[in-house]
């Protein structure tokens, strides 16, 4: 990969004179109302949203990890028994 010179140009930042005080107040009030609306929609989902969540909910439940632990213990005992048998036969 070729070495490139460091970029010296900075991205455009928010410039205060771009908006008047009235515009900033309107923007803030609209943004706050939108946030409240978003929170209300999350709290009280519509019928379609609840149906969508129910349809996308996974049907297959995750198996408990206990089965893997039992399988691990069985294989461990098997290998230990084989190892003891090999030591007995070699000695």
**Is 61 a domain residue?**
yes
Whether residue 36 is contained in a domain is answered as: yes
Confirm whether 32 is domain-assigned. Answer: yes
Q: What digits encode the pLDDT tens for the residues 63-72?
A: 776 778 888 9
Query: At residue 8, does pLDDT exceed 70?
Result: yes
CA distance 57 to 51: 10
25-43: per-residue pLDDT in tens? 998 999 999 999 988 877 8
Report if residue 86 sits inside a domain.
Answer: yes
State the total domains in the chain.
1
Q: Distances from the Cα of 38 to the Cαs of 24, 25, 29, 41, 85, in angstroms?
A: 21, 20, 14, 5, 68
Range of 72's domain? 20-90
In a domain, 82, yes or no: yes
């Amino acid at each position: 990969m070729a070495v490139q010179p460091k970029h010296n140009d900075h991205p455009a930042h928010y410039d205060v004179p771009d908006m008047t005080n009235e515009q900033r107040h309107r923007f803030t009030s609209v943004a706050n109302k939108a946030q409240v609306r978003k929170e209300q929609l999350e709290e009280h989902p519509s019928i379609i949203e609840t149906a969508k969540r129910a349809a996308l909910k996974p049907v297959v439940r995750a198996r408990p990890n206990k089965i893997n632990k039992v399988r691990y213990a069985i294989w461990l005992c098997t290998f230990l028994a084989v190892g003891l048998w090999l030591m007995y036969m070699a000695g």
